[in-house]
Structure formats: C-alpha cells, structure tokens
Structure 1
Amino acid sequence: MKPVLFCDFDGTITENDNIIQIMKHFQPTGWENIKNTVLSREVSVREGVGKIFSLLSSSEKNSIIEFVLSTASIREGFKEFVHYAKENGFPLYIVSGGIDFFVKPILKGIIQEDLIYCNSASFEGETIEILWPHSCDSNCQNDCGCCKPSIIRQLTEKNNEIIVIGDSVTDLEAAKLSDFVIARDYLLDNCRELSLRHESFTDFFDVMDILEKRRVLS
C-alpha cells in the first residue's frame, strides 16, 4: 500500500505546543482550567480551543504573533523529513489544531501552504474568535475543530497506508483511524493503552528511520 503521511504541528513539528506557550506568556484568567478539561476530554477540542482564545483581547494580536514567531522552534530533522517524503513520493500533509497566524508563517519556505490544514482566527471582535474551516464530517461526532479524521478520509483512498505522526489529544482520533502511528508524549501513552500499532520518536531523523525500515520490509 502507498503510505500517506499526516503530521501534527504543535509539539510535533515544533518543540513546544504554541497555544500553550501563548497562554503561559499572556496568562489570561482561567486558561489552565479550560486546558485541563480538554486534556481530560470533558470538553471537545473545538470548545476548549475556542474558549481559551476568547480570553485574549484582539488588541493583543501583534504582540501574540510577534511572541509566537520569535519563540517557536522547529524539531530537529523536519526540513530533511519533508525532503525525504518528497523524494520517496510519500504525500505529506500537515494537519494541525493550531492557528493559521502562526502555523503558516513558521512553515513558510519548508512546505507548500496548500498542504497545510489548520484553524484560522478573526481579530475583528473584542476578543479573538477561532474559525473552523475543517470541521467534522458526518462520520465524526467528536467536535474536533480541525477534524483530522475527516481530512484523512478526504485525502486518502482504500489502497493507501495511513501513517499519523503526532503527540497530543488532537491526534488521538486520527491515530485510531490510521494503519500506523509515530508518536510521542500524550499520544504515545494512548497508543500503548489502546494497543495501536506504533513506534515512538524524539526527532524527525527517528521518523525517517522508522519509515525507511517499514519501506524496506514492505
């Protein structure tokens, strides 16, 4: 089967989760409680992310963008990984619960923008409003926000091997739909708990090694 790669952004491509870094820096009241309800799956990702950004004033737009673009760090080996996928003919899509105002600038010049699927933001109101251009399809009832399973269904065919690369709660439903997961942190723990086929990674050189072994063995 032909591998199709779906890679998370925050905490996977970048060393840290940029939404969490924004909240830690600007410290809006109540953000940690909302974060905890998302991680415990008491509320959906869409509801939690929407609420957490609504705590921030739109007037802080420039400061927020400047902060995240100056502090985000891309995980070692990612640029080489993009080249590896292209050289081997593996379609690679970035599927992110992050927001366009930082996801796309950070990835500019590394991967084509039309291969990036993420949420967007409006700064027109008093507080930041998150928009959801990739909401759940009729097969998903999880209120994902940026629905990774829906995107996977849209972009793959029956003869594709679905490989998900990620780290967090936003990757869990996609991982359940995949043929194989390359995971770290929260997602790795859940792959073990749910007995999903997976391997762990630290950087994208590890990811390439895992994919190469699978390619040789196939």
Structure 2
Amino acid sequence: MGKPIIFCDFDGTITETDNIISLMKQFAPPEWESIKNQILSRELSIREGVTKLFDLIPSSKKEELLSYLQETSVIRKGFKEFVSYTKENDIPLYIISGGMDFFVYPLLKQYGPFDGIFCNQTTFEDQTIKVHWPFPCDAECDNGECGCCKPSIIRSIEITEKHDIIVIGDSVTDIEMSKYAHTVFARDYLAEKCEEYSIPYEKFETFHDCIAFLKKEVPA
C-alpha cells in the first residue's frame, strides 16, 4: 500500500447511528419514513429527499435537536485512537458527511482538528429547517443530485500517484466514493452494495479494526 489518504463518513460510521434518522424518529411526523424509503430506492435523489425530510421539522426546535443528539449519539469505539493514529503517522484524514453542520461540528469538536470537514449547511430563519448544499456535483458526476457529492470532493483534493485512497462508510451516500478507493472499510448498507457491485472491501465493527488493518498494510 502507498501513502494512505482517508475519507471517512460521519453518520452511522463515526457515530453508531445515523443522526438524521435519529432526529426524524424523534421529531418528524410519520411521513418521514416514506421519504426515507424513496431515498433508499433512489426514487428521490439524496438532495431532494433530505431537503424534504428537514422541511418536516420546525426551525424553533434547533436547540432541542442538538441537545438530543449530544445526549444520545454514541461515537464508535476506537475513533479517538484512530484519529491519534492518523496524526502520529501523518496520514491525511478528511470527514465527508451527508449530515448537517449544526450537529457534525459539535459532535466532532473534541476529536479534531482534521484535514477537512465537508458537510451540508442548515439555516433556521424560516418556519422549517432549510438545507443548503455547498458541495454540489462537479461536471464529472453522473448523478447530478448527490447533495454533498463525495466523489466531487475527492476530485477537488490534490492526490498523487503515491497515495492510496481509503474510504470508510456505511450508507447509500458512500457508494460512489467507494468506487475511487484502493481500500474500502464498509458496514451495513455499504457492505451489501460493495458485494452487489463487486467492490472489494474490509468489514469493520470498530475503528480498532481499521487501525489493525493499517498497521499491517501501511509501510512503516
């Protein structure tokens, strides 16, 4: 393996549960589930579907939403050690999340700094929460409506032939960036899709698994 450069998902990967789903279960009316199913079946693009989801929740609940996640979100075991390992070995670590700035930054604060954090933005001035998309698809993306387009972000970062791209993820938003990776650490839905698309991957449960793999594969 060459010099690793790591792109890691947040919801359901760094955290044990998907924070958007957790918020919807707690605060959204029942119709959120049909929207979620349409996203997973790709009837709705991620951008369109997530916009619809947050439009179900009043902006007045902002502090309540954040307090709920700070009380209930669990960081996956080994993440703190994983971040330390990357820093000690000068391995770039980027967080690329389809999540929202109002919870991604607070939940990551004690673990940084990182080489970069990319996520969607939210505003709370209207009656319901509005999502903004600062990282749209570039000209090379065929999907057009990714929302936070993870492959476009990877393409925007200077990566040399000496680098091996490592992707860590769990969900539908991680499929396309996994196609760019030399190594994929996958869980749940992403693992299923890697098998479906014949993308080689390493199954992981905690970030200790990722550390063990890197210690074995990355030259000292």
TM (norm. structure 2) is: 0.95
- Asked if 1 retains the 8 angstrom alpha-carbon contact of 2:94 and 2:114, the reply is no
Cα separation, 2, equivalents of 1:182 and 1:213 = 15
Instruction: Verify: 1:78 aligned to 2:94, yes or no.
Output: no
Superposition pairs of residues 118-137 of structure 1, within 5 angstroms: 118-137=119-138
Task: Output the amino acid matched with 1:49.
Answer: V
CA–CA separation in structure 2 for the residues paired with 1:114 and 1:130 = 24
* 1:199 is aligned to 2:202: yes
Q: By percentage of residues, which structure has more helix?
A: 1
* 1:100 maps to amino acid: D
* Correspondence for 2:192 among 168, 186, 189: 189
**Are the counterparts in 2 of residues 140 and 150 from structure 1 also a CA contact under 8 Å?**
yes
Identity of aligned residues (%): 54
Partners of 2:179 and 2:53 in 1: CA distance = 26
Q: What corresponds to 1:43 in structure 2?
A: 44
Partners of 1:119 and 1:133 lie apart in 2 by 6
1:144 Cα deviation after fit: 1.0
| Counterpart for residue 96 of structure 2 | 95
Are the counterparts in 2 of residues 4 and 156 from structure 1 also a CA contact under 8 Å?
no
2:151 match = 149
- 2-structure distance, mates of 1:29, 1:15: 23
Q: Deviations over 1:150-196 (max 9, x none)?
A: 11111142412111000000101111122220000000111111111
Aligned structure 1 segments of 4 or more residues deviating by more than 6 angstroms: none
Instruction: Give the drift of 1:109.
Output: 2.2
In the alignment, residue 162 of structure 1 is paired with which amino acid? I
Q: Distance in 1 between matches of 2:216 and 2:166?
A: 14
Unaligned runs of 5+ in 2: none
Deviation at 1:29, TM superposition (A): 3.6
* Aligned length, in residue pairs: 217
CA distance in 1, matches of 2:49, 2:115: 26
Q: Read off the aligned partner of 1:157 and give its amino acid letter.
A: I
Structure 1 unaligned regions, length at least 5: none
